[in-house]
Amino acid sequence: MRRHPARRPTLPSAALGLWAVLVLLGAAACTSGSSATPSVSRLQGSTAPVRPQYVALATAVAAHGAKPWVEADLLKAWVAGRDRYTAALDSVVALAGRPGVAGVKVADELGYEDGTDADTDLAFLAA
């Protein structure tokens, strides 16, 4: 049985989408530990700083017909405190507002007790 070609992404689009997810992994909520200061931009209508390479990547992925996801460990940012959480959330929301972005993954390994416990995880979800 043949499938309609429009119903399934081509391998390059699927690979590009997967690559984008991997690159955007933690883009807004994690730091590299490098002493260099990265350049940042602000998306129109937003006060959140967003690295231009992430905006360009999300735009390029969407232009190829794939649907990028923004992935960030907001739980880690929330545990770090209100200022860090607010900054991370603002950046994630700014990236998620890009045309073509499919969604946001807000936490990595939530519930696996990987650095947090069940009470912390539940408090994060209730916040």
pLDDT, one tens digit per residue, over 3-44 is 555 555 554 555 445 444 444 444 444 443 333 333 444 444
Tokens of 52: 């231009």
Is the confidence at residue 92, as pLDDT, over 80? yes
pLDDT at 2: 54
- Taking residues 45-49, report their average pLDDT: 59
Give the other-Cβ count within 10 Å of 116's Cβ: 20
CA 116, CA 105: separation in Å to the nearest integer?
Answer: 18
Q: Which residues are CB-contacts of 48 (< 8 A; sequence separation ≥ 6)?
A: 42, 87, 90, 91, 93, 94
Please give the pLDDT value at position 20.
Answer: 47
Q: Tokens for 45, please give them.
A: 């209508």
The rounded distance, in Å, linking the Cα atoms of 75 and 51 is 21
In terms of pLDDT, which residue wins out, 25 or 80?
80
| Rounded Cα–Cα distance for residues 21 and 40 (Å) | 20
